[in-house]
Structure formats: C-alpha cells, structure tokens
Amino acid sequence: MKIAQVGEAILRAIATPVTDSEMKTEAFQSFVDNLLLTMQDANGVGIAAPQVFDERAVMIIASRPSPRYPEAPDMQPLILINPKVKRSANESVKDWEGCLSVPGLRGFIRRSTWVEIEYQTRDAMRVNLRLDGFVARIFLHEYDHLIGKTWLDHVEVNTDIMAESVWRRDIAGITEDV
C-alpha cells in the first residue's frame, strides 16, 4: 500500500466509523492484514488507515525496540477499530516523534502520559484499555490521523522540528544507517 505524505487531503479528513457488518467481510479483514504488513515493511510502530488513503477509523499500534526506538516496550500489534479517547492524563511530557507520512523530520511533541481508550477488535468486540508512556504516545499519534491531524499540529516552537538524520546523530546517538 502507498503511504500518504503530508499535504495530501486524506491526512486532514475525519475518519468514518466501520460498521460491525463491514468488520465481518473478507475485504475488510484483508485490508487490516495489508495495513499491518505496510506498517511492518515501513519499519513503523503504528499506522492509521488514512495514511494509506483509506477513510475508515482503523489504526494499529505496535511498539517494539528498534534502532529508531531502542527503549520502546515490546508488544504484539494491536488493531484498533473505531477507537475513542475516554480519558487522558493531565500530566504530559515532550518527546521526539517521527511519522511515515512526514518523512525526513522529527518533532518534539507534548503528549499525555497515559490514556484510557475504547475500541473494537477486528471481530467487533468492544474493549476498554489504559495505555501508558510510549504506547500511549503511539496511540495518540495514530489517533490524530483519524481526526485529521499530524504531529505537525502539535509543534509548540519551530526549534522542536529536526531533520531525521540530525535527530539520529545528535539525539539518539545512532551512527549507522537505519
């Protein structure tokens, strides 16, 4: 699947809910499988349907340690359909984020330290869950794609934007190519 790049209209659109009956179709299940493969092929820790030119409210979060995120917790990919934020922490922290749709840049973005969410699984079961730390950050980043935003909308000052190559060298201390 092709990944939409910043400036494309789909990244500013509000995602549409997926119906329970649609979730049961082979076409939808295949889409979810392909979305996961696209995220993995791009070495991402998350992806949302609008990033592949699809307007449905579907996202995947999949934290794992990597050269880009060496301290990331390891988790199985979590598929979230029609996610909603129920509550989030008043406390927030700034950290660096990248995005498959904003290649070559990193942003120092403020996010809540935890979030309580509701979503549906790919078989339409409703789930409530609390996410903390880096995984909460991934969720909030991907959720932004479902409400027509990117991390660029959260930049507080221009100096909080950095080239990916400079971030790797100066912030992450990564010297090899990723």
Q: Is 169 helix (H, G, I), strand (E, B) or coil?
A: helix
Contacts (Cβ under 8 Å, ≥6 apart) of 9: none
To the question of whether residue 99 is assigned a binding role by annotation, the answer is yes
Active-site residue 164, yes or no? no
The beta strands (E) that lie in 3-160 are given as: 46-48, 58-61, 78-88, 92-97, 105-112, 114-120, 126-132
Beta-bridge partners for 59: 48, 80
C-alpha angle 139-141-144 in degrees, rounded to nearest 5: 105
To the question of whether residue 141 is assigned a binding role by annotation, the answer is yes
To the question of whether residue 151 is assigned a binding role by annotation, the answer is no
Identify the H or E element spanning 24: none
**Bridge-based pairing state of the strands 58-61 and 105-112:** unpaired
Q: Which of 55, 116, 142, 176 is catalytic?
A: 142
Q: Which residues are annotated as a binding site?
A: 99, 141, 145
Q: Which residues are annotated as a binding site for Fe cation?
A: 99, 141, 145
Instruction: Point out the residues that are catalytic.
Output: 142
